[in-house]
Amino acid sequence: MTATAGWPASIPSEWKPKPEDELLHTPWGDEAFPWKETFFVTLRDDAINANLMMHMTVSANRSPNTRVAVGVAQGNNTTIQVCREDGQHNEKSIGNTMSRLEIVNLSWDSAHELRWIADLDEVRLDLKLKGKHFAPLWDTMFHGFFATGENGQFYCHTEQVLLAEGTLTWKAGGAELPFSGFGWRDRGWGRRKTQLMWNTGWDLVSAVLPDDSVFSFMALRSHELPEPAPMPVSGWYSDATTLTPLVGGYYHKEATAWPIRYDLEFEDGHRIAGELVKPTGRLAIHLQEAEHRPDVPNITPTMQDYYAVFRDPDGKRYSVFTQNGYVHKVDVFRDAQFIRAGVPPRKS
């Protein structure tokens, strides 16, 4: 593992995550809430029509302590696999026997690099993940967007646009396919219970623009900001020397959740816009609990990715990542009332 510092002085130092924030933390805070470390990666290669997703949770006080869900879709081939087991974690690698992230360089800029290795029943992945420009620490750049600990729960978060190079191999055919794609990832840590913190939907959008700059934004309601408070939206724009927050704009989707258009304004005066040319890839995976039991949370968040080709106002085309997140019931009949003829539903 190496760590470098390439951030310009024009970006506030408090917006930069620590190199060690990529690694597992020593838990702090209210021990009544579970400590969770999460890692999410989404990627697409338009040339081979492939989508990849990975969500990993490492829990300091649960067993098995490492839960990973991986989804791979290429053309007519699709597989989603989950592995719950105690993982092997150190300063060089985080993960379990199905999927792991190897630490190469920690800098939260374009030199930030991980290696993602996954070995599923049907497919193998070996990918170099490189950051694209700067990764903001949301705790300081967008303080209050995520839970800050008012009720014991808090969530620390950073994210980065990704470029990926490597190989994808379907075991049935044996052919090793080159993978070259773009995507997005996040890194989270803190004390939280799924059924309390994430009982809402969300939207994510990110892209590498034709001029090589990047942006990302998120619309999500923390449990600390219940309705009728306005929907919180935060986002950022970055290039080789800049990191600046989103201050206005709009984003429209179809009813099917495919993105249609956006127009965004940033604090430093940058304004970017795009509209849909064609949808490309779609894939979904889900957060995983330690095991299936009546006492585990009754809801789980689903991360559903929609990639598309957009055009900017000059007609230049580029790929866009979007995610429609939603929450659904796992133990569907828990605390239910069965309704039959002549018996109206119970009222609280």
Residue with tokens 């900001």: 225
What SS3 state is found at 141?
Answer: helix
> What is the pLDDT at residue 119?
98
- Measured in whole angstroms, the distance separating CA 298 from the mean position of its chain's CA atoms is 21
Per-residue pLDDT of the chain (348 residues), as tens digits, is 554 457 999 999 999 999 999 999 999 999 999 999 999 999 999 999 999 999 999 998 888 999 999 999 999 999 999 999 999 999 999 999 999 999 999 999 999 999 999 999 999 999 999 999 999 999 999 999 999 998 899 999 999 999 999 999 999 988 899 999 999 999 999 998 877 776 678 999 999 999 999 999 999 988 888 888 899 999 999 999 999 999 999 999 999 999 999 999 999 999 999 999 999 999 999 877 655 666 666 778 899 999 999 999 999 999 999 999 988 888 888 888 898 877 888 886
CA angle 325, 329, 334 (to 5 degrees): 160
Letter string b/e over residues 64-73, b meaning 16 or more CB atoms within 10 A of that residue's CB = ebbbbbbbbb
pLDDT tens for 40-88 read 999 999 999 999 999 999 998 888 999 999 999 999 999 999 999 999 9
pLDDT-above-70 percentage for the chain: 95
The CATH homologous superfamily to which domain 35-329 belongs is: AttH-like domain (2.40.370.10)
Please state, as a whole number, how many other Cβ atoms lie within 10 Å of the Cβ of residue 265: 16
d(CA 65, CA 128): 25
Domain ranges of the chain: 35-329
d(CA 109, CA 6): 7
Please state, as a whole number, how many other Cβ atoms lie within 10 Å of the Cβ of residue 253: 17
CA distances from 85 to 57, 236, 292, 301 (A): 11, 36, 14, 20
d(CA 98, CA 283): 19
Question: And the tokens for 325?
Answer: 């997140």
pLDDT tens for 120-131 read 999 999 999 999
Query: Is residue 64 reached through a cis peptide bond, with omega within 30 degrees of 0 on the bond before it?
Result: yes
CB of 146 closer than 8 Å to CB of 192: no
